[in-house]
Amino acid sequence: MKLQKWRWLALLTSFVIIFASASYIISYQTFIQTEKQGAQDRANHYQILLAGMLDQHKPLLSVLTEDPAVISTLFKPLPNAQAEPQAQQQLKLSQLNARLHRYATLSGLEAIYLMDQQGLTKATSNYQQDPSLSFMNKNYGFRPYFKSAINGNEGAYFAVGATTGLPGYFISSPVINEKGLVIGVLAAKIDAATLSVFWQSTEDLGFISNDTGVIILASQRAWLYQTITPLNPLQINRIRSQKQFAGGLLSALSWYPMDDLFVSVENKDYLYTPFKIGTSGWMLHSLSDPAVAKKNAAFVALVVSALLLLLLSWGLTIRSRSIKQSLMKSELNRAKLVQMNDNLEAEIGERHHAEKRLSLAQKKLVQANRMAALGQLSAAVIHELGQPLAAFKNYIAAAEIDPDGEDMGQLLANLHSVALRMQSTTSQLRFFSRPDETKYTLVDLQQVIASAIKLTRAQCDAAQVNLQWAPNSGVQACVMGQSLRLEQVIVNLLINAFAAVNDSGQVIISLEHDQHNWLLRVIDNGAGFGAQDPEELFEAFYTTKASTDGMGLGLAISAAIVNEHHGQIWAQNSSQNTIHKGAEFVVTIPQAV
């Protein structure tokens, strides 16, 4: 009982663990997908925010490129024209620097500066800074944003400042005079810290890489200016010639994708969501810590386990209550059961007495049945002794009629055979004194048929019957049985056939093999059975002869003997073409193995 209890406890524990594990896995996948969708939505929002930040200052540059002060600063007088006084030029430049400083401060730009056709800075908003940090008189003609604008197009470029050493996003517009010629470039620098506002409003980690795979913006400062893909020599030379990252070493970031959902960065796993930003080749790599999803999934699994345990406890409580009620009912019914047992014992006692009385009655009934059987057998013996006695009488009569023509040795042999036949018939009475000790032996049916024909030859000749029997000397029709009893069956069938055909009749005996049985047929050309049921012929004391001719036991005894030999016997109207109408008796005996 204790072992079964522990088995149930182990089974319930395993069920709870499996269910909790499944709940954890399903909820974890759900939270991961939710987090990934959230990261995608945040990245999309940041793209819109970043695009607005990058494009919001372009109108200011477009307006300033048309400012007369900007154009006049880049104006070059003709060789023969009178030059403007130096003091007046300095005053205009100071006023332009002050205006650029005011515009940069109001718009949140790090710097606004004006360059001539060679990339030399003529005016800048940071003119008041230390000369080493000011853009004044610095040449930025090597920058891609300058080259794009000097060719008449707007330019944009992310780089580490060649003067300040601070990263930023540079935008530029061409300055065009009244003749439509590009006479300079007006540029502005957006501080990189301003562009990192995405990671200031979320707990996510991540970085932005440019078209060459270099990290230009990141939530972790240590990740900046590392590469996520190897750079080829052409890319390295271009970065160095443009001084994009101030000559710093671009090392490879320790990261590699694990599958479609996760990536390892510096030996730590993150939920990874890539997002393409604009058409500049920038890519946002959003990294989310899966610990939150694991924590939430664990909480869900804990809640599910608690609910499951609560349901199991409730179920066990209900079951315990039901068992308790069943035990109470069992106790109430136990007394009734005891009383019923007492009554049953009394009834059993009465039944034992009844069985004893029944056993005594059965013994008396068996004795009565034996007496009845003895009477039936006596009638059968009387019937069967009539045949050999008639034969005995015929042999003696033949000897008396022609004593000289009869072979005395053959006569004695025939008489001895008839005596043995009579002795075998009378021996059946031993059944009522002790069990039959006669053993079955190997018997050849052809010899049995020959003996039966010999025994009935006198009746055959007296009735003038044409008896046809063609034995097969090359075959032994062997069966297991008692030759005398099988001979008795054939004798009964032959005598009945002789009686059915009367004078000048025909009787055929045939023996054939059918699979595992031997088939004996006795066919006559008499009147047949007509509308009579052939099965009635095998009932005891049933006869169609006159009361003085028979007792109606021959076929009943024959059927009993065939049944003892595990065979079958039946009667039917003849189907032979050589004999029309008539009766046919068929006997089947299993062949000897």
What is the per-residue pLDDT across 455-508, written as a single tens digit (0 to 9) for each? 888 788 888 888 999 888 778 899 999 988 899 899 999 988 888 887 778 999
Element housing 59 (H / E): helix 58-65
**What are the phi and psi torsion angles at 140 (to 5°)?**
-120, 30
Using the CB atoms, write b or e for 522-551: b if 16+ within 10 Å: bbbbbebbeeeebeebbeeeeeeeeeeebb
Q: Span 68-90, mean pLDDT?
A: 73
Do residues 272 and 287 touch, judged by C-beta distance below 8 A?
A: yes
Given this model, what pLDDT does residue 434 score? 45
- pLDDT one-digit tens code per residue, 164-186: 888 889 999 999 988 889 999 99
Would you tell me how many other CB atoms lie within 10 Å of the CB of residue 486?
27
318-327, 366-375, 529-538, range with greatest mean pLDDT: 318-327
* Cα dist from 137 to 100, 113, 124, 145, whole Å: 16, 10, 9, 18
Given this model, what pLDDT does residue 369 score? 46
Q: Do domains 56-191 and 202-289 have the same CATH topology?
A: yes
- Give the number of C-alpha atoms closer than 13 A to the C-alpha of residue 323, restricted to the C-beta side: 6
- pLDDT one-digit tens code per residue, 392-450: 777 677 667 666 665 667 767 777 777 766 766 665 445 444 444 557 899 999 999 99
Asked if residue 511 has pLDDT above 60, the reply is yes
> Domain 438-590 sits in which CATH superfamily?
Histidine kinase-like ATPase, C-terminal domain (3.30.565.10)
Question: Which has more confidence, 417 or 328?
Answer: 328
Categorize the per-residue pLDDT at 204 as very low, low, confident or very high, splitting at 50, 70 and 90: confident
Given this model, what pLDDT does residue 435 score? 41
Query: Is the pTM higher than 0.85?
Result: no
Name 410's Cβ contacts closer than 8 Å, sequence gap at least 6.
Answer: none
95-109, 316-330, 495-509, range with greatest mean pLDDT: 95-109
Would you tell me how many other CB atoms lie within 10 Å of the CB of residue 21?
12
The rounded distance, in Å, linking the Cα atoms of 241 and 159 is: 12
Question: Which has more confidence, 489 or 250?
Answer: 489
The domain segmentation of the chain, as residue ranges, is 1-37+294-330, 56-191, 202-289, 367-437, 438-590
Do residues 456 and 488 touch, judged by C-beta distance below 8 A?
A: no
Given this model, what pLDDT does residue 84 score? 63
Q: How far apart are the first and last CA of the chain?
A: 59
Given this model, what pLDDT does residue 72 score? 87
Do residues 16 and 312 touch, judged by C-beta distance below 8 A?
A: yes
Asked if residue 100 has pLDDT above 50, the reply is yes
Q: Please give the DSSP secondary-structure letter assigned to residue 287.
A: E
Given this model, what pLDDT does residue 576 score? 58
- pLDDT one-digit tens code per residue, 531-544: 777 887 787 666 66
Amino acid identity at 592: A
What single string gives the DSSP state of each residue in 490-540? HHHHHHHHHHHH-TT-EEEEEEEEETTEEEEEEEE-S---TTS-GGGGGST
Given this model, what pLDDT does residue 106 score? 92
The rounded distance, in Å, linking the Cα atoms of 589 and 520 is: 8
The rounded distance, in Å, linking the Cα atoms of 555 and 536 is: 10
Given this model, what pLDDT does residue 118 score? 93
Question: Which has more confidence, 296 or 546?
Answer: 296
Reading the block at residue 475, the tokens are 């075959």
Average pLDDT score, the chain: 81
The rounded distance, in Å, linking the Cα atoms of 140 and 135 is: 9
The rounded distance, in Å, linking the Cα atoms of 88 and 299 is: 76
Three-state SS for 211?
coil
Name 31's Cβ contacts closer than 8 Å, sequence gap at least 6.
Answer: 292, 293, 296, 297
> Domain 202-289 sits in which CATH superfamily?
PAS domain (3.30.450.20)
Given this model, what pLDDT does residue 366 score? 46
The rounded distance, in Å, linking the Cα atoms of 378 and 557 is: 12
Out of 3.40.640.10, 3.30.450.20, 1.10.3720.10, 3.40.50.150, the CATH code matching 56-191 is 3.30.450.20
The rounded distance, in Å, linking the Cα atoms of 428 and 436 is: 8
The rounded distance, in Å, linking the Cα atoms of 524 and 209 is: 118
* Closest C-alpha to 96, from 61, 67, 58: 67
**What are the phi and psi torsion angles at 260 (to 5°)?**
-70, -15
The rounded distance, in Å, linking the Cα atoms of 40 and 136 is: 43
